[in-house]
């Protein structure tokens, strides 16, 4: 009805009520002048007027009263005027847990807020006694955005209370969401405000305290516009109390279910992720202006049922639809896409797809604010693993490759944290602690200073040991750190240090009263792998098998760890030379890990890589190739296209191709790998140099010596600059340069290169190390090409001797050196000695290598000549026969 | 944290605030059983009002109308929340016969009434204002007359017509 029509209706109505009742209908019909609409309206109004409309007025009052009846029961409790040190002042408000009163601390005159927990009769006796102790733990929390606890106690009537900061509010009763949405605030400003809340929550998590009941009404706004989170950890205490008092409805009394994560609501599982979820819902309200599962933004007290484990509408959809009320001009579709993702990742109903920690949530907020791509955006799993490293990419760029190792391990911790569905609070805090510890390792403990560019590994490990030693009160964390440091040492080739660290971690874990079978097994696995590296294969296999047995009997649920144990066992078997058994064990590991962690876990990629290696050994290159490709696909999904692990996978694929003689394919793969390294580390990084060298060696096979030489010179310049002239990394490049020079018949250059390699290895690893032998062997090749046979002979005799001492008489390297020595002696026409070494080499190699290989065939060919010259026709024939029927030999 | 965009909340000593506090206190007198203090209610209203663009100063008569609407909104939200809890229900008209004996509004009717109030305010702002301040906030007819600078007789006449119409709407009389 429009305004004019309404005025007509009102006029006729007033005129009608002036008349006696029985005349009114007739009057109205006449006055309406044929308008049925006016007539119907006025007649209805007259009817109501006759009945009386006072019910309307009373009804409104009653309805309003009823609407607020929830708030009615709060005042019967009035605390005494003096409570210990405090003088009670005015009533401030009430929440789900109790009533809050302002109070004055008498000695200091400071205003405080006291919360009295109600209703009193629901709290168990035992809980009341423990209450003050518990609060004092929480009182450790000191953060500018957290309302601190100061004191706690019980009144004479046993009402528990605690004393906290009094917050002079920006506007009394105005909560976080409303404040953040005040008109004129940009999305960025709202996010920054939200971020400061996250900061405070993260701080608490690092202290091992989880809020459990984050919601807008628990976030006050102080006079200066900064947030103050109240009731940290209280929900936990109250839930414990609720469970004791009323086991059938734990926590429902105090928790606000609108902001509670599904796994917490339905299964009672709590971790840092629980708070992440609540923060996500709050962020949703900050962005969209309303609760994701409710139509109206209203505070607690309302049960949404089982709705919140579905995904809500995207915040952007709501904002765009309701643009009139809250327009945010200038936000692009892409910006909204990120905001949607950020928010819905934080409040994802599935823990595994949620941000694993508040830290990662903050990181993505920062990404958004800095217009960087979100970690959460491309793919969840990839985000999980990669985010840690990506954020510290500069740290990685600035320092040596060791850092990547440490970072990858830290990322693995993040991933493990996310993998655990049942993260206990303590567990979560521990993992966070380790993550933090890793950070500090890299950053020299100073968060603002950035990484030390040339932090020596030793210094880094020493610092880690010191920190670990200081953690005597936290044996679990201490063992975790020893184990982590041990694994780092192992990867860096410091095996004895790794061994002692891991042994310490293991004995510490075993001596704990509450043994953690999974933790013990994990340490056993790590230690077993170190033993394997130390060639203590028997001890290694024993230990890993023991861990596997323990896992199967004491922690049968932990299939992931079982898979890792199987992987370790397979790895140990490879080291022990039990190739065929290893193949079976690794295949089993792949199966177990895939079943436990799904098809895209980084551990699975590692297992597939091992299995591929084993297949190469077994000669099944197709299988190896297939496994390597799967590993590559996983790493691409997990880490993204441009990540060093992906380059490593490409390198493995290239190696298989190279072994099969497919040099062009190998070259292509190496180039892809190099491109990744250049992009990730930049053109002047040692890791890039390493890939330059690998590509060059493939090019050498293809006789593309010019390009190989160019690449190697680049690599050499980098490695010398980074590591100095006397470093194995430099030697590695020089080794390939020697090969190029030899191929180009630049003998003196080749000689110089190889001599330098030998010298570097001697200084780095000691004179007895087999690598010195490798370098001298290459030097011998130069002499041989120059036809300087006596020098070559002397050199190879030395090499055979070195390999025999360092690696054993039956070793493949020894065998190859023997074959080469035999060839040299043959050239010198010293047939007796030649036959001796060729035979020894032949016998050794034909056991270990494909009989068709050049080494075996070459030795046999030499032996035929030797025995012919020595006039030993029987032996000559024996080796000729083999030569005449190579296919038989090959089939044997 | 930056304070770069100062929010446009009226100062708590300002005229707007006083005006609204008065409104809340009047409402509070009518519902003595609740402990939601008038101050807290005003803050609820402030939050609502400040989600709206272009709030006029308190000297503007329009301000009181806007504030009233916000206040009403707060009350209705609370009622709606309860209704959702009870029925998860939609608003629907309640037949006349069922209402005849009752002296109070059901939650559904209350929400219907709120909707009708919006229509009324659209048809005639003064009529809407009068009903809001009397029926909802418990102001006396004299107080409302003073605010609107009209005679008490006018307020009475407005109120009678408006209430009759509202009652017909809430009772489910069909509208053409």
A67–B82: do the CB atoms touch at under 8 Å? Answer: yes
CB atoms within 10 A of CB A813: 20
> Quick one: pLDDT at residue A100?
81
Q: Which of B118, B133, B128, B122 is nearest to B158 (CA)?
A: B128
> Quick one: pLDDT at residue A746?
92
A37, A5 Cβ separation under 8 angstroms: yes
* CA distances to A312, A709, A758, A769, A789 from A780, in Å: 72, 21, 12, 17, 9
pLDDT: is A250 or A687 the higher one?
A687
* CA distances to A835, A880, B85 from A838, in Å: 5, 15, 92
Q: What is the pLDDT of residues B91-120, one digit of tens each?
A: 343 443 444 444 566 667 777 788 888 889
B113–A56: do the CB atoms touch at under 8 Å? Answer: yes
**Residues contacting A825, CB < 8 A, separation 6+:** A793, A831, A833, A834, A837
Question: CA neighbours within 13 Å on the CB side: how many for A332?
Answer: 5
Instruction: Name the burial class of residue A33, with classes exposed (0-12), middle (13-18) and buried (19+) by CB atoms within 10 angstroms of its CB.
Output: exposed
> Quick one: pLDDT at residue A300?
37
Residue owning tokens 């193949």: A583
**Chain A / chain B CB contacts < 8 angstroms:** 193
Interhelix angle A663-681/A686-701, rounded to 10 degrees, is 170
- pLDDT confidence bin for A710, thresholds 50/70/90: very high
How far is the C-alpha of A464 from the C-alpha of B91, rounded, in Å? 66
**Residues contacting A264, CB < 8 A, separation 6+:** A212, A270, A274, A277
Would you state the structure tokens that stand for residue A458, as one six-digit string? Answer: 């030793």
> Quick one: pLDDT at residue A397?
37
Q: What is the pLDDT of residues A851-872, one digit of tens each?
A: 777 888 889 889 999 999 999 8
Find residues 174-213 of chain A whose CB sits inside 8 Å of chain B.
174, 178-179, 181-186, 189, 192-193, 196
The beta strand positions in A192-330, using DSSP E, are 219-221, 227-229
Res B132 pLDDT > 60: yes
B40 in contact with chain A, both atoms CB, cutoff 8 A? yes
A787 in contact with chain B, both atoms CB, cutoff 8 A? no
> Quick one: pLDDT at residue A392?
41
> Quick one: pLDDT at residue B36?
56
> Quick one: pLDDT at residue A480?
76
A78 in contact with chain B, both atoms CB, cutoff 8 A? no
Question: CA neighbours within 13 Å on the CB side: how many for A252?
Answer: 10
Where in chain B are the domains?
59-170
Q: Which of A590, A596, A591 is nearest to A613 (CA)?
A: A590
Q: Which residues pair with A94 in a beta bridge?
A: A99
How far is the C-alpha of B72 from the C-alpha of B137, rounded, in Å? 9
Res A713 pLDDT > 90: yes
CATH of domain B59-170: 1.20.140
B31–A65: do the CB atoms touch at under 8 Å? Answer: yes
* 3-class state of residue B28 by DSSP: helix
Across chain A, mean pLDDT equals 77
Question: CA neighbours within 13 Å on the CB side: how many for A141?
Answer: 32
pLDDT: is A300 or A692 the higher one?
A692
Contacts of B50 in chain A (CB under 8 A): 182-183
The average pLDDT across A569-598 equals 87
Instruction: Please tell me the distance in Å from B126's CA to the nearest CA on chain A.
Output: 11
Q: What is the pLDDT of residues A506-564, one digit of tens each?
A: 998 888 777 778 788 888 998 999 998 887 889 999 999 999 988 888 777 778 788 88
- Going by the DSSP 8-state scheme, the letter that residue B135 receives in this structure is I
**Residues contacting A67, CB < 8 A, separation 6+:** B75, B78, B79, B81, B82, B107, B110
Quickly count helices (H) and strands (E) in chain A: 39, 8
A726, A763 Cβ separation under 8 angstroms: yes
Cα A169 from chain centre: 39
Residue of A40, A60, A172, A256 to mutate for B, most B C-beta atoms under 10 A: A60
* 3-class state of residue A164 by DSSP: strand
Res A159 pLDDT > 80: no
Domains of chain A: 3-67 (no CATH), 75-166 (3.30.200.20), 167-372 (1.10.510.10), 534-633 (1.25.40.10), 711-891 (1.25.40.10)
How far is the C-alpha of A553 from the C-alpha of A561, rounded, in Å? 13
Residue of B2, B4, B7, B74 to mutate for A, most A C-beta atoms under 10 A: B7
Q: Which residues pair with A556 in a beta bridge?
A: none
| DSSP H helices in A495-601 | 495-511, 517-533, 537-554, 559-576, 579-597
A853, A865 Cβ separation under 8 angstroms: no
Instruction: Please tell me the distance in Å from A4's CA to the nearest CA on chain B.
Output: 8
Q: Nearest by CB to A189, which of B5, B34, B46?
A: B5
B97 in contact with chain A, both atoms CB, cutoff 8 A? no
- pLDDT confidence bin for A58, thresholds 50/70/90: confident
B135 in contact with chain A, both atoms CB, cutoff 8 A? yes
Cα A683 from chain centre: 27
> Quick one: pLDDT at residue A863?
92
B33–A65: do the CB atoms touch at under 8 Å? Answer: yes
Binding positions of A = 115
Would you state the structure tokens that stand for residue A697, as one six-digit string? Answer: 């060696």
A60 in contact with chain B, both atoms CB, cutoff 8 A? yes
Would you state the structure tokens that stand for residue A261, as one six-digit string? Answer: 């994560």
A65 in contact with chain B, both atoms CB, cutoff 8 A? yes
């Amino acid at each position: 009805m429009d305004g004019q029509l309404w005025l007509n209706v009102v006029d006729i109505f007033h005129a009608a009520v002036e008349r006696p009742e029985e005349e009114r209908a007739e009057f109205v019909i006449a006055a309406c002048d044929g308008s049925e609409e006016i007539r119907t309206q006025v007649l209805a109004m007259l009817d109501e007027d006759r009945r009386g409309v006072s019910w309307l007025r009373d009804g409104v009052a009653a309805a309003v009263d009823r609407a607020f009846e929830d708030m009615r029961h709060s005042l019967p409790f009035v605390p005494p005027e003096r409570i210990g040190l405090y003088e009670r002042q005015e009533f401030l408000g009430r929440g789900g847990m109790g009533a809050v009163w302002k109070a004055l601390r008498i000695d200091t005159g400071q205003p405080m807020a006291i919360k009295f927990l109600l209703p009193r009769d629901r709290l168990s006796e035992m809980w009341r006694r423990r209450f003050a102790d518990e609060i004092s733990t929480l009182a450790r929390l000191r953060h500018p955005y957290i309302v601190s606890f100061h004191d706690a106690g019980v009144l004479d009537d046993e009402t528990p209370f605690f004393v906290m900061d009094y917050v002079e509010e920006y506007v009394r009763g105005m909560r976080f969401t409303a404040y953040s949405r005040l008109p004129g605030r940009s999305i960025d400003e709202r996010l920054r405000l939200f971020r400061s809340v996250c900061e405070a929550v993260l701080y608490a998590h690092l202290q091992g305290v989880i809020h459990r009941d984050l919601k807008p009404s628990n976030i006050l706004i102080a006079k200066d516009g900064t947030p103050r989170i109240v009731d940290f950890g209280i929900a936990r205490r109250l839930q414990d109390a609720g469970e004791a008092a009323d086991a059938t409805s734990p926590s429902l009394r105090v928790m606000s279910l609108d902001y509670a994560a599904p796994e917490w609501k339905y299964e009672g599982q709590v971790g840092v992720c629980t708070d992440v979820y609540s923060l996500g819902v709050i962020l949703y309200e900050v962005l969209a202006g309303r609760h994701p599962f409710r139509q109206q933004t209203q505070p607690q007290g309302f049960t949404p049922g089982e709705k919140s484990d579905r995904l809500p509408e995207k915040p952007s959809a709501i904002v765009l639809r309701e643009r009139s009320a809250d327009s945010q001009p200038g936000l692009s579709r892409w910006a909204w896409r990120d905001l949607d993702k950020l928010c819905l990742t934080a409040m994802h109903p599935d823990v595994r797809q949620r941000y694993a920690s508040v830290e990662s949530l903050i990181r993505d907020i920062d990404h958004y604010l800095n217009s960087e791509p979100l970690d959460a955006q491309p793919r969840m799993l990839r985000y999980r693993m990669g985010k840690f490293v990506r954020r510290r990419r500069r740290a990685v760029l600035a320092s040596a490759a060791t850092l990547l190792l440490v970072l990858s391990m830290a990322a693995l911790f993040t991933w493990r944290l996310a993998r655990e569905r049942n993260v206990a609070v303590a567990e979560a805090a521990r993992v966070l602690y380790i993550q933090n510890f890793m950070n500090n390792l890299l950053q020299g403990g100073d968060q603002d200073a950035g990484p030390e560019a040339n932090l020596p590994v030793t210094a880094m490990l020493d610092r880690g040991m010191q920190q670990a030693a200081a953690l005597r009160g936290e044996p679990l964390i201490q063992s975790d750190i020893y184990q982590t440091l041990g694994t780092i040492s192992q990867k860096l080739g410091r095996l004895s240090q790794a061994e002692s660290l891991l042994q310490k971690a293991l004995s510490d874990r075993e001596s704990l009263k509450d043994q953690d079978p999974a933790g013990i097994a994990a340490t056993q696995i790590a230690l077993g792998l170190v033993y394997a590296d130390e060639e203590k294969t028997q001890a290694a296999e024993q230990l890993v098998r023991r861990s596997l047995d323990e896992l199967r009997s004491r922690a049968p649920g932990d299939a992931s760890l079982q898979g890792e144990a199987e992987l370790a066992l397979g790895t140990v078997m490879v080291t022990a030379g039990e190739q065929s058994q290893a193949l079976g064990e690794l295949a089993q590991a792949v199966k177990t890990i895939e079943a436990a962690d799904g098809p895209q876990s980084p551990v699975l990629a590692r297992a597939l890589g091992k299995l591929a290696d084993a297949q190469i050994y077994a000669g099944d290159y197709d299988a190896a190739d297939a496994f390597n490709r799967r590993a590559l696909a996983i790493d691409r999904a997990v880490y993204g296209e441009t990540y060093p692990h992906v380059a490593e996978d490409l390198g493995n694929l290239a190696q298989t191709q190279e072994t099969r003689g497919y040099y062009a394919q190998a070259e292509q793969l190496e180039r892809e790998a190099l491109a990744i390294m250049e992009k990730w580390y930049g053109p002047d990084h040692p890791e890039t140099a390493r890939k330059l060298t690998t590509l060059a060696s493939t090019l050498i096979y293809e006789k593309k010596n010019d390009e190989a030489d160019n690449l190697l010179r680049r690599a050499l310049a980098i490695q010398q600059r980074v590591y100095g002239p006397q470093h194995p990394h430099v030697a590695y490049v020089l080794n390939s340069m020697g090969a190029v020079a030899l191929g180009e018949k630049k003998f003196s250059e080749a000689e110089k290169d190889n001599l330098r390699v030998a010298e570097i290895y001697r200084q780095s690893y000691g004179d007895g190390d087999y690598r010195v032998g490798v370098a001298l062997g290459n030097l011998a090749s130069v002499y041989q090409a120059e036809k300087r046979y006596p020098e070559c002979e002397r050199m190879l005799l030395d090499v055979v001797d070195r390999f025999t001492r360092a690696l054993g008489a039956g070793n493949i390297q020894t065998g190859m050196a023997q074959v080469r020595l035999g060839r040299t002696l043959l050239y010198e026409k010293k047939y007796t000695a030649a036959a001796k070494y060729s035979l020894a080499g032949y016998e050794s190699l034909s056991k270990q290598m494909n009989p068709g290989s050049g080494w075996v065939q070459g030795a046999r060919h030499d032996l035929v000549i030797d025995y012919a010259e020595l006039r030993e026709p029987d032996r000559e024939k024996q080796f000729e026969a083999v030569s005449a029927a190579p296919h038989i030999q090959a089939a044997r | 944290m930056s304070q770069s965009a100062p929010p446009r909340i009226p100062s708590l000593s300002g005229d707007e605030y006083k005006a609204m506090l008065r409104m809340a206190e009047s409402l509070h007198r009518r519902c003595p059983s609740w402990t939601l203090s008038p101050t807290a209610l005003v803050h609820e209203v402030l939050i609502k009002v400040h989600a709206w663009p272009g709030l006029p100063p308190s000297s503007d008569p329009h301000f009181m109308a806007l504030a009233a609407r916000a206040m009403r909104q707060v009350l209705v939200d609370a009622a709606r929340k309860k209704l959702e809890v009870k029925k998860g229900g939609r608003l629907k008209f309640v037949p006349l016969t069922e209402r005849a004996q009752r002296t109070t509004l059901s939650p559904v009717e209350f929400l219907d009434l709120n909707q009708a109030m919006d229509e009324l305010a659209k048809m005639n702002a003064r009529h809407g204002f009068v009903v809001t301040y009397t029926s909802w906030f418990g102001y006396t007819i004299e107080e409302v007359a003073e605010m609107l600078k009209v005679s008490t007789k006018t307020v009475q006449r407005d109120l009678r017509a408006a209430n009759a119409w509202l009652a017909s709407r809430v009772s489910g009389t069909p509208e053409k």
